[in-house]
Chains A and B, each alone.
Chain A
Amino acid sequence: MELAEAIILSVLAASTPLLIAATGELVTERSGVLNLGVEGMMIVGAACGFGGAWLTGSIFLGALCGMAAGTLLSLIFAMMTLALAVNQVATGLALTILGVGLSGLIGAGFVGERITTAPHLRIPGLTDIPLVGRILFGEDAFVYLSLALIVAVWWFLYHTRGGLILRACGDNHVSAHALGYPVLRIRMFAVMFGGACAGLAGAYLPLAYTPFFIPGMTAGRGWIALALVVFASWLPARLVVGAYLFGAVTILQLHAQGAGIGIPSQFMSALPYLATVIVLVLLSRARTGGSTAPAALGTVFVPDR
């Protein structure tokens, strides 16, 4: 049982950056914008997050720096795709390349330094409950924040007028515009939210996961976050499941090795990606008429005047 608890804790930690980044991208895509630059925003968030924390000594300020960095980068994306009506796929890819390069330049000065990682919650009595104590009451702020975030997003999308309008922009931007809603401005805010989340998710890595910055430390998590959004059919509840599932596969393959289960490690490493493809296919099949993406996702919108 102790092993099960330990595995769950590892999975929680591994899944958190995926969940945060995917939440942001979910909002962005529900508004109709496809931002492929998540990896770039995440890694810039990691560099700035670590730098901020190291310079100020505060994890909180570091997290803010990471969020700010992600948001700024996403603004470039917003300007290109919303103001200049540029192709979203190309812009997103350019953003990733730019982000990776920038993070290397910014982070170069911080390599080799270390900070104290984010503290874990400790409630005497509650945290010590066997099995669930540490899972429920012993995590760091990022884990709780990630869950609070997705719940807040769910509430926003489905129980507020603002969320309804945002979804309308994603499903049919022409009608939304005709109704008088400022489609581009709403999308801009959605993109910025996505950037902030990606930056925060990236900052989580050096602030809570491994307390140092190394160039390239996101190791493709941004792309996995993108896959997660589709995996989840753009539904918040499914996103949580997907994030933890993905984290679980990554962690379990390591445990399987340690336990001596002799499947080639490459196959185990490939499982999360194969699983995503299979689930994508199955989900799309289950609905008649194909995918359930926001209908206007990725299309350029230039308001008629």
Chain B
Amino acid sequence: MAVPVIMPRQGQSVESCIISEIRKKKGDNVAVGDILFVYETDKATFEEEAKTDGIMLDVFFSEGDEVPVLTNVCVIGAAGESAGEFRPGNAGATQGAVVQDAPEVKNAQAATETRGGKPEASVSPEGKPLSETKGKQASEPEGKPAVGQEEAPRDLAATLKTEIAPGISPRARELADRKGVDTSRLQGSGPQGRIIERDVLAAAEAAKTSPLARRMMKDDPSLSAARGTGLAGMVTGRDLKTGTAAGRDINSGMPAGGSDFEIKPLTTIRKLIAKAMYQSLQNSAQLTHHLGADARRMTALRKKVKKAVEEGRSADITLNDMICYATIAALKKFPQANAHFLGDSVKLFSKVHLGVAVDTERGLMVPVVRNADSLSISELSGKIREIATACRKGSIDPELLSSEAASFTVSNLGNYGVEIFTPVINLPQVGILGVNTIVLRPKDLGDGTIGFVPYLGLSLTYDHRAIDGGEATRFVKQVAIEIENLDFEI
């Protein structure tokens, strides 16, 4: 009864061993206790003793070959028995253990090259990935793997161990550990993009890293440095920590030791705002006109509202609500301001979808009140409050935040005391109305009397590609007129 002898697994982390000596050749007599072959791991040398008597029917490897653990190395049996079924790489090969066949490793020459030389790119065996078939016999991969099988036994051994992350050979991984190379960023040139030894070697050469930096990266895999500022561009510990060089800060004249600043990556919302703002300014011809509205009527109405709110007769209608209401009215009269600029055309909206700028902890958001022109002032007020709260809570419907969703935007900085500013358009809208704080301005009250009246500054930024200055001015003047003539039921 032919019995295969497998390459033992000498330890959890051993994936393969090298046969240093073959003591029993094909055809030799074997007695229990005879040394069949001598093999070595990274750490030690072992002798494999025969556990059965018989004749060495076949030896599948040569001295110097690196053999994955649990692979059939040779077969002992009675004279005349066939050993073919045990040959690694054969269809339906019987194994001494539960694993897949190993493709045959050709000769000592090729195998010894594995030791010191660079592995060739290996062609992956066709057929199922081995990890899937662990535990049962699988069919042999079609044909033998091509030139450069040095890597193949490794691959096989590697996948036997489920602990090993796919994508890097154990040899490469060990080398990477030793050289402090961060493999998470490497492109593998092995089969299926597997990272192999030469990839690690190349990486170690490319980015010179100081011993300290390597140690830091090993202890904290999240660290990395885009560039090195040490000797001849070497990546230093400081580069990993602060992402910048130690040096003298021109603003202080003293060396910037990394202790007077902190690098914070941008939040998603910040990135979005940055992009939108920059693009708006780059891709439009926007400028701002400033014009004032007499705010007496508005402030009087506000007083009335406040009183009514106290008496429970009314919902709270803020100054901003009033201004938005006035703006909507003006937009109905100036449809060209209630539009999107599309490059070769202008999209004129028949309804007003008003974007309202809301300041939140996370950043600026501009939710839209759809069909705002159909709302009464109190409905408008309620809607604005609703979407503003949703923004601050973080529960706003993202659909309502798109600058495409609004036809015009109002941005009120009155609460912050801003007197004049140049709001940035939310493209593709053609305009944005900035609302300033109310200041007292001298006005001729008639009959030679000069008095101070509350004055609300309006800063209209418009896209000159869509609207000319005259039109824009007339529009913002209309907004002022609407504000000065506000009238609604309380």
Chain B associates with chain A: no
